[in-house]
Structure 1
Amino acid sequence: MANIRKQSVTAFLWSGLGQYVNMGLSFLTAAVLGRLLAPTDFGLVGMIVTINSFLLIFANTGLSTTIVQHKEFGKDEHNSLFTLGLVSGVIASSILALLAPAIAIFYKDDRLTMVALSVSPTFLLTALTQVPQGILQKQLKFKLLSIATVSSALLSSLIAVYLAYIGWGYWSLIMQLLLRAFLLLTFCIYFSRQAISLKWTPSLYKKIYNFTGNLTLFQVVNYFQRNLDNILIGRNFGAASLGIYSRAYLIMTTFNSAIGGVISSVLHPTLSKKQDDIAAMTRGYGEIVQYILWLSCPVMGLCAAFAPQFIHIVWGANWHSVVPSFFWLALAGMHQPVYITLGAVFASRFQTKSQFYCGVVTTALLVLAIILGLPYGIVGVARAYSIMSHLIFFPYMYFVWCKVLQGRFQAFLRLVLPPMLFGWTLLLITILTTNNDFPAFINRNFQFSTAFIIAGLAWLLSLCVVFLKRVYPSVKKTLLS
């Protein structure tokens, strides 16, 4: 037991380190590529990545999650799942290759035919990665998993920057996708230390169907929630507008993954060990949600308040048109890292069907918001998405907290309201003290104020020092219990 506790804390720390290093690499690479490539380059690749994300659902089929959740699985089951990943990866790659001409017609850009054909192997590589990655997660070997993730990201980013520098344009981004998928597969297979062989076991696939089937259905629904805005912007406004919007969206999702993803990757195997103690699971998850919000609300509030300066530093002066969209998406990012952890809760309670139904409802509402915002351009889409995201947060969390975890909603509110109110207060005070008219701030640049950035960062640092001393011990206790 003591060894498991030690492994849980070590896994949390290594997962966090890997996520934050990846975030730093992502921002650094994006900053460099943003100065070497045009918005059209990012938009063109963004169009195909949007299609990729849908087919990737069927290439993955929740294999890594299945391995983590089923503690009784051994080598034979792993080999059978690897074979299933191979088959699903080949099918997904073939579908994208066949759809390449149709994708080019849909987006009205002939270049997308070759782009789609070139990117299609990533499905096979990603599908094959699921089993060795799941084995490492199940064994809480997040140190090795972090090394694999960071190494593949670093090497592929360096090559992408070099290719962009010598004039490869959007092909440098495509090579980055291919190399990262290949390197991650190679590292995960090596670190898992398990000889992989092919084995077809229909009885096993039938056994896991309900779990993986509902999980896959949720991912299909969630795909439209996460990507419909990109699809519609690319279709209606072209590659340049999508390139601008995708830069704003990338910052939000990168931060969400850095906060929610680092915990979610460890949270699932940790909660799975507490399947028989719902009270401990609820208490531990609540402390983790509080920890996430004390980080995400102030940080994203400051990012929204200093949106022009932030974009100028990260992307450069040529990307100022990203600012209005980023402002609204940063507001949504104040609470969105919590959503990333919900999959671990549903999976650990074997309620992937409930997760699917929740996904249908939330996706329908967000899709409606995106459609309503579309006539007002990319800023209208970002604004509508942000507002709806805030409106559905508490109803969604009520269902998770009270129905799935069987907790009291008053207890949940006591955990989440203080950090959320603090984040909004910080945002409003920062805007008011920088002497900016609020509506004008959303639509135009305002004077760079180094003093207020330093003051805001100092405020954030003091916040982290004070509250992490109180919240982090609770998170650590959850992992140790």
Structure 2
Amino acid sequence: MGPKSKIQRLIKRLIPSGGVAERAVKSGIWMAGQNAFGRVLQLVMLIILARLIGPSEVGLMGIALLTLSGVRKFTKMGLNSQLIQQVDSNVDAYLNTTWLLEIARGVVIFTVLFVAAPFIAQVFDTPRATDMIRVIGLSPLILGLQNPGVVYFSKNLDFHKRFVYYLSGQVVQLTVAVGFALYEPTAWAFILGFVSGDLMMLVLSYALHEYRPWPSFDRSKAGELINYGKWLTASSILYWLYSEGDDAFIGWLLTPAALGFYQYAYQFSNAPATEIAQVVSSVMFPALSKLKEDTSKLREAYLQTLRVTAFVSFPAAMGILIISPSFVQVFLGPEWEQMIPVMQILAIFGLLRAISKTFGPLWKAIGRPDYITKLSFIRVVLLAIFIWPATEAYGIVGTALVVTGIFIFPMMPMDMYLTVKAIDGTFTQVLRELVYPLFASGAMAAVGWYTASLLDVPPIVELPLLIVLGVVVYGVLVLFLESQFNWGVRQNFETVLSSIRA
């Protein structure tokens, strides 16, 4: 059997099928692949743009993205979450209404951004951002027109189709952005790439799913969808305030260049956490929604998810903490070195964020999305209290310390309390899944830090050496903990492999 036939056979095996557990595992593999490839494409684009257009232009494109993200979050209705959460496998009766609601939302967002763009640019003291904000406002208008049938990619755990749908948009975005930056090295390269990627996803939404929407509106179904989504709308607004409010504050108080440093530090330090969180939330929510009636199965599924999340996110965060100086010097250049301490602090934030992303899907699956909203409100209040004095005193380092510190306490303890309550479990069960990877990755980081202090080699040599050393040390410690304390990671991998072979 040739290599091509083997690849085709593997892909066929990975197409989600079987029971909920098997479909969830296979979907997780597709989602992990999607996010890994997607993140690589995005980081490659960001690295190239950093070299071509510089921190100030990066900050300018960041202002346009912040504005779009804010309006999107303030108008999010959570329609797809309601359709995924429903027990019924067929939700066709809702799709036309969903489609019209999303189109209306897209029109509203575009109109608001077009009218408000000059005022927003004035707030950030960047007149050039006006036209960029208007053009990037086309994105929600384009995506509002996409086929609502794509919700079945998540609802039915058909993530192989979502893989093609999402990555094709990322490839187009990278190609257009880099191509334009080579011609004209300005923030416009990213803006045009962003919109082009959305156009590709619009086309593929109709190519990959057979459903064809028609303009018909059902008021009762719209009311049902909006009633469920009200908590998600509120939590979406609060999420923007605490996840991107720090970016907006830096752009307003400091400079576009400072915003560029902070956003890049976040992007690169949180890349693993972002992808882990995306896989977890996308696969975990529909899978747990199918198990919500059986508490013991729900608890088991959640703890296994937490174990895998912690197994990957702990070493990723600790590794970034150690390699940040050499990474920035090799890939971004000397003008970006101001972001190194921020990147190291935000690596810890990324770890906490990845772990916390296992909480939200669980709460939504059991019908308590209000938990997300209420906790987000507390986080926003704390951020509003501390961010100004910290940023004024220590710049973007102070901002990073506040964002991370709030997550450590009091948010994480409260998150864990509600999660233990939701699965009818104990704190010991949850903490057990965190202790082993904390020990292994902590020891890995200590060895890496000590080695880095001894090395006297160029950054381009130091970086791969530290990465290889970290992988080896963490791997050895994982094998030790698994053999001596029955961690449970081997069982998780055996489940994945058996699902692939099935």
TM-score by length of 2: 0.87
Closer, same or farther in 2 for the Cα pair 1:435/1:254, shift >3 Å? closer
**1:61 paired to 2:77:** yes
Structure 1 match to 2:61? 45
C-alpha displacement of 1:152: 0.8
Name the CA distance, whole Å, in 2 between partners of 1:397 and 1:453.
Answer: 32
* Structure 2 counterparts to residues 263-274 of structure 1, below 5 A: 263-274=280-291
Partner SS for 1:435: helix
2:229 aligned with 1:212: yes
Shift of 1:478: 11
Distance 1:321 1:338, change over 3 A: same
In 1, Cα distance between equivalents of 2:452 and 2:380: 37
Q: Which residue of 2 aligns with 1:442?
A: none
Q: Provide the rounded CA distance (Å) in 2 between the counterparts of 1:330 and 1:394.
A: 16
Q: CA deviation at 1:206?
A: 1.6
| Residue 256 (1) aligns with residue 270 (2) | no
**From 98, 109, 117, the counterpart of 2:115:** 98
Q: How does 1:211-360 map to 2 (within 5 A)?
A: 211-360=228-377
CA contact (8 A) 1:215 1:356 kept: yes
Q: Is the 2:74–2:236 Cα contact (8 Å) retained in structure 1? A: no
* Residue 459, structure 1, aligned to residue 473, structure 2: yes
In structure 2, distance between residues paired with 1:155 and 1:450: 30
Q: Report the counterpart of residue 404 of structure 1 in structure 2.
A: 422
Distance, in Å, in 2 between the alignment partners of 1:252 and 1:202 is: 44
Partner of 1:439: none
Counterpart secondary structure, 1:208? helix
Corresponding residue for 1:431? 449
Query: Match for 1:177: what amino acid?
Result: F
Residue 104 of structure 1: how far off its partner (Å):
1.3
Gaps of 5+ in 1: 437-444
Partner amino acid, structure 2, of 1:321: Q
Report deviation, 1:192.
1.9
Shift in alpha-carbon separation, 1:361–1:80, aligned structure 2, 3 A: same
Q: Identity, % of aligned pairs? A: 20
What does the per-residue CA deviation read over 1:16-55, in whole Å, with 9 as the maximum and x for residues that have no partner?
A: 1111111111122222222111111110011121121111
Distance in structure 1 (CA, Å) of the matches to 2:500 and 2:303: 13
In structure 2, how many angstroms separate the alpha carbons of the residues matched to 1:227 and 1:165? 29
The residue aligned with 1:33 is 49
Counterpart position of 2:204: 187
- Cα distance in 1, alignment partners of residues 395 and 74 from structure 2: 32
Secondary structure of 2:416 counterpart? helix
Distance 1:404 1:314, change over 3 A: farther
**Which amino acid in structure 2 is aligned with residue 356 of structure 1?**
T
| Equivalent position SS for 1:30 | helix
1:469 and 2:486 correspond: no
Q: Which residue identity lines up with residue 98 of structure 1 in the other structure?
A: V
Given that residues 440 and 477 in structure 2 are in contact (C-alpha distance below 8 angstroms), is that contact kept between their aligned partners in structure 1?
A: no
RMSD over aligned CA atoms reads 2.6
* Structure 1 residue 100: Cα displacement: 0.7
Over 3 Å counting, the alpha-carbon distance change for 1:447 and 1:478 in structure 2 is closer
The 1:37–1:277 alpha-carbon spacing in structure 2 relative to 1, beyond 3 Å, is same
Structure 2: distance between partners of 1:260 and 1:76: 31
In 1, the alpha carbon distance for the partners of 2:201 and 2:270 equals: 20
Shift of 1:6: 4.1
Task: Return the TM-score normalized by structure 1.
Answer: 0.91
Q: Which deviates more from structure 2 when the two are superposed, residues 180-189 or residues 362-371? A: 362-371
Q: 1:226 to 1:107 in 2, by over 3 A?
A: same
1:209-233, CA deviations, whole angstroms, 9 ceiling, x for partnerless residues? 3320111101111110101111111
Matched residue type, 1:89 = G
* Residues matched between the structures, number: 472
How far apart are 1:422 and its partner, in Å? 3.0
